[in-house]
Amino acid sequence: MKDLIATAARILHHARHPIFLSGAGISAESGIPTFRGSEGLWKNYRAEELATPEAFARDPHLVWQWYNWRKERIAQCKPNPAHYAAAELKKLLPELLCVTQNVDGFHALAGLSEVLEMHGNIYRTRCLSCKTVTENRTEITPTTPCPACGKVPLRPDVVWFGEILPRQVMDVIYARLQIADAILVVGTSGTVYPAAGFAVEVRRRRGTVIEINTDAAHRPYADDIYLHGKAGEILPAIVDELRRLS
Ligand code: BJW
């Protein structure tokens, strides 16, 4: 493992256009359940059944209950060593394009500047009528009025299944994917597109794929370097190696 970590650090050190992509696994050590782990169920619903515009249209109360529960859970947790290591990584590798699928805001909280939150942020709401996006940390219900126009309902400002991802964010990511020579993928099952396609694209263009994941059986990208273990232990070790190289 030590050799693999050193190799990963060397590759990142020499990469000219590297990408960092994180998923729910990076926040697992903070106490936030992943989507597809054993703790990922909420009241016997899977994410695929709640994170859709159809679910919200059918039962906005249920969907808001889920988001309120998650907001409360996130508020009780804090960033872990993996989030802080990601922030250090960006300082050591200014060219690193940092992308997260997570909506918990922990990367920013840990000091990672310029992180693209491709699936939105759980602490923002969007008005279905006037589309105003507002930061909101309180409990929301389908009858909570929009602070801008007073209409209901508000929805979470996140990306659900079947929805298009934010254009400005995706333009930046796709531009980088054209030239990326390395990608570090941390704590994602690689089951949800388009994020699941990023490493595949980097590999197709002969870039190097480095992955950190706790699931030994899970190798969706045929990675060049697979670092089996916890992000909170492996990412700080990569940062230590990078400091030696810098
Ligand atoms: C650790 C760890 C530790 C644990 N250390 N590791 C192409 C093919 C097929 C389907 C599609 C396709 N393109 C689009 C689709 C449809 C769909 C899709 O992908 N479906 C799949 C299920 C097949 N995608 C979409 O609809 C997307 N929209 C889109 O593409 O628009 C255009 C389009 C639409 C329709 C058709 C075609 C094109 C939108 C996707 C939005 C996903 N939204 C969610 C909810 C966000 C808001 C919220 O949080 O509530 O995003 S779903 C959920 O999954 C969330 C996550 O970001 C996302 C990914 O989950 P993630 O992060 O990978 O978590 P887990 O739990 O799956 O994995 C955790 C991993 O961590 C595990 O591997 C653990 O082992 C590991 N781990 N502890 C390291 N300590």
The predicted pLDDT at position 42 comes to 81
Determine the pLDDT at residue 220. Answer: 67
Per-run averaged pLDDT (10 residues), the chain, 246 residues: 96 98 98 87 86 97 96 97 98 98 98 96 98 96 98 98 97 98 96 96 95 85 87 98 94
Q: Is 183 helix (H, G, I), strand (E, B) or coil?
A: strand
10 and 87 fall within a common domain: yes
Q: Are residues 227 and 139 part of one domain? A: no
Q: Is the domain of 24 the same as that of 40? A: no
Q: Would you state the pLDDT for residue 246?
A: 85
How many whole angstroms separate alpha carbon 25 and alpha carbon 39? Answer: 12
Distance 22 CA to ligand 1 centre (A): 11
CB 122 within 8 A of CB 103: yes
What residues make up the domain containing 145? 33-76+124-158
Active-site residue identified among 14, 107, 119, 228: 119
54/71 same-domain check: yes
Mutation probe of ligand 1 site: the residue of 121, 165, 192, 219 with most atoms within 8 A of C-beta: 192
pLDDT reported for residue 238: 98
Nearest-angstrom CA–CA distance, 197 and 203: 10
Q: Kindly give, in sequence order, each residue whose CB lies less than 8 Å from that of residue 204, ignoring residues fewer than 6 positions away.
A: none
* Distance in angstroms (rounded) separating the CA atoms of residues 9 and 166: 31
Ligand 1 site residues, Cβ closer than 6 angstroms: 23-25, 28-29, 34-37, 40, 47, 51, 101, 103, 119, 158-165, 187-189, 191-194, 212-215, 218, 230-231
Judge if 171 and 226 occupy the same domain: yes
Q: Say what the pLDDT of residue 40 is.
A: 77
Is 119 assigned a catalytic role? Answer: yes
CATH code of the domain covering residue 60: 3.30.1600.10
Residues 94 and 108 in one domain: yes
User: Structure tokens of 92?
Assistant: 């050591």
* Same-domain pairing of 99 and 190: yes
Report residue 73 as tokens.
């859970």
Burial 39-63 (b: 16+ CB within 10 A, else e): eeebeeeebebbbbeebbeeebebb
CATH of the domain at 100: 3.40.50.1220
Assess whether 221 and 133 both reside in one domain: no
- Same structural domain for residues 142 and 208? no
Domain count across the chain: 2
174 and 93 within one domain: yes
